[in-house]
Amino acid sequence: MPYAAFRSIGAYVPSGVLTNHDLEKMVDTSDEWITKRTGIKTRRIAAKDEKTSDMGTKAAEVALKRAGLKADDIDLLVCATISPDYFCMPSTASVIASNLGIKGAMAFDISAACTGFIYVLSIAKAFIESGMKKNALIIGAEKLSAITDYTDRGTCILFGDGAGAAVITSTENKDEAIIDVHTASDGDYADLLMTPNGGSGSVHDDLDKEKAGCYMKMKGNETFKIAVKTLTQDVRDILEANNIHSDEIDHFVPHQANYRIIKAVGDALKLKDEQVVLTVSKYGNTSGASIPMAINEIYEEGKLKKGELMLLDAFGGGLTWGSALVPFAPFS
């Protein structure tokens, strides 16, 4: 039976920086409040003409190069995004495939908000283990600044832009295989975090973003409480199901939504600070891009070594959530 191995990581971080002090001039907030309640200090913002696909392409180029694979080798490309280049089509994945010169591969987007990267990881694993595909390029890319209402202090302090990508390939070696991926959802809570209109459910005739409500709306505190409870349980479940103790985890790489959520889950699992990967202060919440951007961070700092075990977890709009146990398995 073929297994799926996590071979490489790449990321792209746009150059624009939005600080808490910048936000103080835009909405009724303060650096102190944002820092205390979220842990965020800065977020990166893409240029006006920089699309989600541009960022995804750059992250993917790095991941492909580090894996030593060429465009021709890729037979599956999946992009997790809630801020696609185009409202309906083409998919951001198709645009990225074209940018990279990938011809003929299956390419599509998925919409699972902040859990997007866990979802695309599970898709790559399933296609590879079934034998249908051999080399997958998975991407989380977001230009959340395009769907953020910068007059709403409940959301605009949280979100940023960026992209991350990983190459997952088929292997016969079980030791390097992705151990498990959990994915789940509960649409009963859809209204907690949503872009209420602008789609086929919209009651508006025009697509003026403000009127059509294409911006994100969030019931932050309710989402926060469900996130902590659900993630703590989900992470306990995946560890228990695979008979792995939390001290065997080399890197806990959570979705970077809020430092307090990460801390609560980390404490519940008795994880040590050095096991927990944190990028939230620098990049804020980049939804589907946040986990691969965080993995890339430890890779570039030289902290992620071959054979080390990562525990990933994420929670987001849908509601969706998931977790994964992933050994880092570069070719060399």
User: According to the binding rule CB under 6 A, does residue 285 interact with ligand UT7?
Assistant: yes
A 10 A CB-CB count for 45 gives 23
Q: Please report how close the Cβ of residue 18 comes to ligand UT7 at its closest, in angstroms.
A: 13
User: According to the binding rule CB under 6 A, does residue 221 interact with ligand UT7?
Assistant: yes
Task: Judge contact between 296 and 10, C-beta under 8 A.
Answer: yes
Residue 123 to residue 106: CA distance in whole angstroms: 12
User: According to the binding rule CB under 6 A, does residue 33 interact with ligand UT7?
Assistant: yes
Angle at 242 between CA 305 and CA 313, to 5 degrees: 60
Q: Please report how close the Cβ of residue 162 comes to ligand UT7 at its closest, in angstroms.
A: 14
User: According to the binding rule CB under 6 A, does residue 232 interact with ligand UT7?
Assistant: no
Ramachandran angles phi, psi of 146, nearest 5°:
-75, -20
* Residue showing the smallest CB distance to ligand UT7 in the complex: 220
Name the amino acid, one letter, at 228. V
The question of whether 285 is a catalytic residue gets the answer: yes
User: According to the binding rule CB under 6 A, does residue 227 interact with ligand UT7?
Assistant: yes
Tell me which of 74, 112, 214, 261 binds ligand UT7, using CB under 6 A: 261
User: According to the binding rule CB under 6 A, does residue 38 interact with ligand UT7?
Assistant: yes
Tell me which of 78, 93, 141, 157 binds ligand UT7, using CB under 6 A: 157
User: According to the binding rule CB under 6 A, does residue 229 interact with ligand UT7?
Assistant: no
Burial class (CB in 10 A: 0-12, 13-18, 19+), 221: exposed
Measured CA to CA in angstroms, residue 327 lies from 158, 179, 243 at distances of 30, 8, 15
Contact string (CB under 6 A) for ligand UT7, positions 88-117, x = contact: --------------------------x---
User: According to the binding rule CB under 6 A, does residue 154 interact with ligand UT7?
Assistant: yes
**Under DSSP, is residue 320 helix (H, G, I), strand (E, B) or coil?**
strand
Residue 310 to residue 320: CA distance in whole angstroms: 20
143 beta partners? 161
Measured CA to CA in angstroms, residue 116 lies from 41, 156, 167, 184, 190 at distances of 24, 20, 16, 11, 16
User: According to the binding rule CB under 6 A, does residue 169 interact with ligand UT7?
Assistant: no
Interface with ligand UT7 in residues 180-199 (CB under 6 A): 193
Contact footprint for ligand UT7 (CB under 6 A): 29, 33, 37-38, 114, 153-154, 157, 193, 220-221, 223-224, 227, 257-258, 261, 285, 315-316
Give the catalytic positions in this structure. 114, 255, 285
